[in-house]
Amino acid sequence: MKKWFYNLASIVAMAFVALSNASAKDKTILFLSEDVPPSLNYDGPNASSPPTQMGIVNLMEPLVYYATKEINSEGAVILDVNKFEGRLAESWSHDKANNKWTFKLRKGVKGCNGATFDADDVIYTFQRAKTVSGKAPVGWFLSNVASIAGFTPAVFGKEAKNIEAKKLKDSEVRKIDQYTVEFTQSGPNKLFLPVLTIFALYIYDKELMEANATEDDPWSHEYTNNKNVPSFGPYCLSKWEKDKEFVVKSNPDYYRGKADIDRVIMKKVPEGVQRLAILRSGQAQLVEHLTPKEFDALKKVKNVKVISVAGNATSYIHMNWKQKPWDNITLRKAIAYALPYDKIIKDVYFGDGQKYNGVMPSFYPGYHQWSGEYKTDIAKAKSLLAEAGFPGGKGLDAFPDQMMLTYSTEKENILGPMATVIQTELKKIGIPVVLNPIPQTQFSDRELVKKDLPFAIIDHSKPIGVEAGYAIQLLYVSREKGGLSNYSLYSNAEVDDLFLNKAKTNPNDAERNDVMAKIQEILMQEVVIAPVIETNMQWAMSRKLQGVGWHPEQALRWHDLKLAD
């Protein structure tokens, strides 16, 4: 206990010093999170880290992004995911007959080092992606998903043909003049614009990237892993001390206008209770990732407000298709009918969310409302369990490892209560669930690398391309067919064929939507996941702060923030 108070006092003292060092005319906010960026390289192994993504989207800039739909009554930014606006691209045109997109680039855009943005920066960015030189080539993957010509698996390998395939050609992405670029697709694909909004295709400052390249690292991966990520965004990196703090200052030349907040200090405070205490003390202005219970308690605190916005956060039960008994669809259905949905929403999330009844967030373009519904029905769950060959749970004790419900220890405050409620209800029908909290590093290794988690609670899987096709390709197409994040190892030849051959590059919207709906019906009928809840994004902050909002990777845009005097 003494150590906890000492740590809290130290953090508050450091926060006071940091804020007091700001110029009287500058607006500075202290933003507390569980971590700060471990890297700024979106083609590196930390690309999936939320703090990494937070750093990237505030330092870099995309060609296009979603338009703002409104600023709601609480001052939160609400996006229109069906409408795109130009960012570094001022305008664009689409030649459907030839699958070509021509972008007119914005003139007079300056980066943090004074370099001026032009077509060479775009060409550099996509050439870097095509080299697949990073340990996690996310830029290549996104370009492939968008059907940009030439971004095929042929780039992987060390033979002469692979080396040649890594070269960006004019028939793929072409510089027409200093402020015009042309993209060619291998076929019509609606995911092109949504994919360009994703952080791993934000545009690099070619000049500074090349200045920090080495013979061993010609694409500056070490530089972006450890030093900076040069681009044309609203903020410039001022200080970066890994595991401690990440400080940025506003870019005075930012083309959309200088940010209202001059300086953002993002500080690592792992314990939610400490983040809460510092916010209540008035030293911090913004906090994220508290528990539903903590957010609920803060709603009554003077000078603090809690903003809740619907987004793409979901929680579901993962069951590994390659491990018995979870390859039994009838058993999976028994689980789905035994889950205590209402109790989880009310008692674990304090009502801040809604029942999840699909395989992707319900507001995504192309989402299909399943014709059925999995709802708590213990009698039906017992009947299905017997039909699956396990009456009253008899025989399931032969699978002790597969009955271990795994979740991240670091999320104990949220997922622990959820796991306990699920364990209690499943035991009612005879399923011998044992709770198995493990460290996040071990959880990630088993989920992402080994792919051997048999039974788990997943609350971090979010398709950041806001479109049904992106979610299906990422999560449910067979891994060997391109399902990069298909961690349950689901494989259905019909789903693969429907998506890859009848939906992905189908130019007829009505036909494509019909195929996507059929795919979603199959996925739900086979219980590819057992969906539980769509949760809202929440932040706690000073009442003087406005402008938070949901974005697909759930990273705040600090340029949107406004701080009243």
pLDDT in tens, 95-126: 999 999 999 999 999 999 999 999 999 999 99
Counting Cβ atoms within 10 Å, is residue 494 exposed (0-12), middle (13-18) or buried (19+)? exposed
The answer to whether residues 361 and 467 touch, using CB atoms and an 8 Å cutoff, is no
**What distance in Å separates the CA atoms of residue 39 and residue 55, rounded to the nearest whole number?**
8
Please enumerate in sequence order all residues whose Cβ is within 8 A of that of 283, keeping only pairs 6 or more positions apart, or say none.
12, 15, 16, 19, 30
| pLDDT, position 485 | 87
The average pLDDT across 249-264 equals: 97
| pLDDT, position 263 | 98
pTM: 0.89
| pLDDT, position 1 | 52
What average pLDDT is seen over the chain?
93
Domains and CATH numbers, the chain: 10-267+544-563 (3.40.190.10), 310-536 (3.10.105.10)
Per the document, the length of the chain is 565
| pLDDT, position 358 | 96
- CA 460 centroid distance within chain: 8
**What distance in Å separates the CA atoms of residue 121 and residue 105, rounded to the nearest whole number?**
11
Query: pLDDT-based confidence at 21, cuts 50/70/90?
Result: low
Query: pLDDT-based confidence at 462, cuts 50/70/90?
Result: confident
3-state secondary structure of 242: coil
Residue 284's nearest CA partner among 26, 542, 54, 51 is 542
Backbone angles phi, psi at 562, to 5 degrees: -130, 135
| pLDDT, position 201 | 98
Q: Cis bond leading into 230, ω under 30°?
A: no
**What distance in Å separates the CA atoms of residue 422 and residue 432, rounded to the nearest whole number?**
11
Query: pLDDT-based confidence at 6, cuts 50/70/90?
Result: very low
| pLDDT, position 7 | 57
pLDDT in tens, 306-356: 999 989 999 999 999 999 999 999 999 999 999 999 999 999 999 989 999
